[in-house]
Amino acid sequence: TSVMNAFTVLTPKQDQLPAFHRDVLQGLNAKDKYLDAKYFYDDNGDRIFQRIMACPEYYPTNCEMEIMQEQSAKISALIASLTETFDVVELGAGDATKSIYLLKELLNIDHSFTYYPIDISANVISQLEQHLPERLPALQVHGLHGEYFEMLRMVQTLSARPKVVLCMGGNIGNFTPMETRKFCRQLRNYLQAGDMLLTGFDLKKHPQIILNAYNDSEGITREFNLNLLTRINREMDADFDLTKFDHYATYDPGTGACKSYLVSLEDQQVRVLDEVIEFKMHETIYMEISQKYSLDESEKLAVQTGFEPVAHFMDKKKWFVDSLWQA
């Protein structure tokens, strides 16, 4: 065996890359290429996602908005019946346009709680801290920009109260069922018995309705996917030609998996940082999963991961559910 010297333990080059660069290179060098959906949300991605939420085919936002507008009083009364004090933590807060209805009702019950919105987008958090006080002056807001669990650990150091964790908008859908179980178990480990989780699930429904939501006629979802290539071009000095990739969405009603891909329209080489990535014609990059659930599957998930399902709150069409679980 050779003798180690100081130079052999130097950190390999890949370890010094930011997480975004490392993850992109790992995904594009994989046998089945993939990119991580959490990277969609740069400033431009945030704006395109706003347009997706406003487009006619994308139903989840309207469904959950209806639930929050019409059932927040009921939800907060239920929360109040289960705990005396609490703080609210929101994972993937976005612009909080839906949770604001619940926050308003919770303020009527106990105006001393703090709202900790967590989001991967720094832009989103600074917007929230600026604009929430205009809409809910009594609300104490402490925004946290970063990964969910790192920021949850931070919240635990800031507050000892029972937690009401919000994970709305079907954010959980961006995980595969296996990843979702892992995520829920991990989340349970960060919580105390009695803490609560209000989590959204997009429900199984006519497959065509689901497919249309991820393949809108205006091509906004296509733009959303391609924008990640634009981000890689800008941040990783890459040369993706966006005209040489197509957006392709699928929904499998058997598994409930709605997946989107970018398809290379020709054999091509793309430079990313100092690497060359080869694409065969019709080779795909797997971009995102949006998993759909039945109510039974959501309850099974709760029980499997250490929660007790307490109540379901659905829109009138029964297309979307916000479920309250207790740890």
Which residue type sits at 112? S
Query: Does residue 290 belong to the site contacting ligand AVJ (CB under 6 A)?
Result: yes
Neighbours of 154 (CB within 10 A): 15
Kind and range of the H or E element at 202?
strand 196-202
CB 55 within 8 A of CB 220: yes
Q: Which of 72, 171, 264, 284 binds ligand AVJ (CB under 6 A)?
A: 171
The C-alpha atoms of residue 225 and residue 216 are separated, in whole angstroms, by 12
Cβ 31 to ligand AVJ, closest distance in Å?
24
Question: Hunting for tokens 């431009």 — which residue is that?
Answer: 44
User: What string marks each residue from 38 to 67 as x (binds ligand AVJ by CB under 6 A) or -?
Assistant: --------------x-------x-------
SS3 at position 34: strand
Query: Does residue 170 belong to the site contacting ligand AVJ (CB under 6 A)?
Result: yes
Q: Which residues contact 265 (CB under 8 A, 6 or more apart)?
A: 244, 245, 246, 281, 282
Q: Which residues contact 45 (CB under 8 A, 6 or more apart)?
A: 224, 227, 228, 231
Bridge partners (DSSP) listed for residue 181:
none
CB 262 within 8 A of CB 229: yes
Q: Which of 95, 105, 223, 288 binds ligand AVJ (CB under 6 A)?
A: 288
**Cβ distance to ligand AVJ smaller for residue 192 or 250:** 250
Q: Which of 86, 101, 115, 214 binds ligand AVJ (CB under 6 A)?
A: 214
Query: Does residue 174 belong to the site contacting ligand AVJ (CB under 6 A)?
Result: yes
Cβ 251 to ligand AVJ, closest distance in Å?
12
Which residue's CB atom is positioned nearest to ligand AVJ? 290
**Cβ distance to ligand AVJ smaller for residue 78 or 257:** 257
Cβ 314 to ligand AVJ, closest distance in Å?
17
The C-alpha atoms of residue 60 and residue 199 are separated, in whole angstroms, by 13
- Region of 152-160, 168-176, 226-234, 265-273 interacting with ligand AVJ (CB under 6 A): 168-176
- Region of 17-25, 80-88, 164-172, 276-284 interacting with ligand AVJ (CB under 6 A): 164-172
User: What string marks each residue from 116 to 135 as x (binds ligand AVJ by CB under 6 A) or -?
Assistant: --------------------
Tell me the CB-side half-sphere exposure of residue 165, using CA atoms within 13 A: 28
Footprint of ligand AVJ on this chain (CB under 6 A)? 52, 60, 169-171, 173-174, 214, 221, 224, 288, 290
